[in-house]
Amino acid sequence: QYLNNPYGAFSDYLDQTAVANTATVMRFRTTDFANGVSVVSETKLTVAQSGIYNLQWSAQFNNNDVQLHDVSVWLRQDGTGPGVDVVGSTGLISIPNSHGGLDGHTIAGWNYFVTLAAGDFVEIWWSTNNAAVSIQHIPAQVAPVRPSTASIIATMTFVSSV
């Protein structure tokens, strides 16, 4: 079945943590919009139609340590078993240290083009060199009033047939 212009938008509103120097998959527990793209098992961004897709993501990183720490983020794509790391997909981010009694924060994100067959998935993985770094949601704030921040957001849109 051809799903004209498949897309999906997914997010998470819980903090996500990792053990230092351990590959950890990002989780998406909220589906904001979906047409032919879905999340399976909270991690697998799965397409119903073959094609080239634009995957965009962002995450709100938090560091509660007095030292700056690094995070790596990369893709795993459908393969035998749990998926295969996508060569060349890793990005490295330095998360600011805590300062003046406040945690260090940075929001990072970028996009990838991925080729997927119908039923294939892609996952976003991360690791940090120190467990003081987490992916953090931020509740609604006051002074000034502003809405909450999702810990992670991802969108996937169909670009072209292969």
**pLDDT tens per residue, range 18-59:** 999 999 999 999 999 999 999 999 999 999 999 999 999 999
d(CA 160, CA 109): 23
End-to-end Cα distance, the chain:
16
- Cis peptide bond upstream of 144, omega within 30: yes
Q: Which pTM does this prediction carry?
A: 0.94
pLDDT at site 1: 53
Q: What are phi and psi of 110, to 5 degrees?
A: -165, -175
Asked if 35 and 46 touch (Cβ cutoff 8 Å), the reply is no
Instruction: Reply yes or no on whether the pLDDT at 78 is more than 90.
Output: no
The three-state secondary structure class of 135 is strand
Mean pLDDT within 147-156 = 97
Mean pLDDT within 51-74 = 97
